Amino acid sequence: MSAVAAERTFTVLSREWCHLCHDLVAALEPIATEYGWKIEVIDVDRHPELEARWDELVPVLLHGERELCHYHLDEAAVRAYCSGFPLESRA
């Protein structure tokens, strides 16, 4: 896997019991597929340091340390972000 491909991962900070979290992931899946990104879901309740930082904002969609949106998927913002990401060479 190239370094660029490794960087193409959305991180969703989530909770198992959170319907907004499940809704955000479901709405994100087709966009991630379209742009060739992966989705990593992390349960903040299993990581006290993440819960302390993000507790009231969950679900949170991140790319690296950059917050793209929280509570609900901002499809326009995510698409704009993905469109600005460098294209991967297919050669």
pLDDT tens digits for 34-84?
Answer: 999 999 999 999 999 999 999 999 999 999 999 999 999 999 999 999 988
Long-range CB pairs of 42-48, under 8 A, 24+ apart, other chains included: 42/11, 42/12, 42/13, 42/14, 43/14, 43/15, 43/16, 44/13, 44/14, 44/15, 45/15, 45/16
Question: What whole-number distance in Å separates Cα of residue 69 and Cα of residue 72?
Answer: 7
pLDDT band per the 50, 70, 90 thresholds, residue 17: very high
- pLDDT confidence of residue 3: 45
Q: What is the pTM of this model?
A: 0.85
Average pLDDT over residues 19-39: 97
Extents of the domains making up the chain: 3-83
**Location of structure tokens 């993905």:** 82
Q: Which CATH class is domain 3-83?
A: alpha beta
pLDDT band per the 50, 70, 90 thresholds, residue 88: low
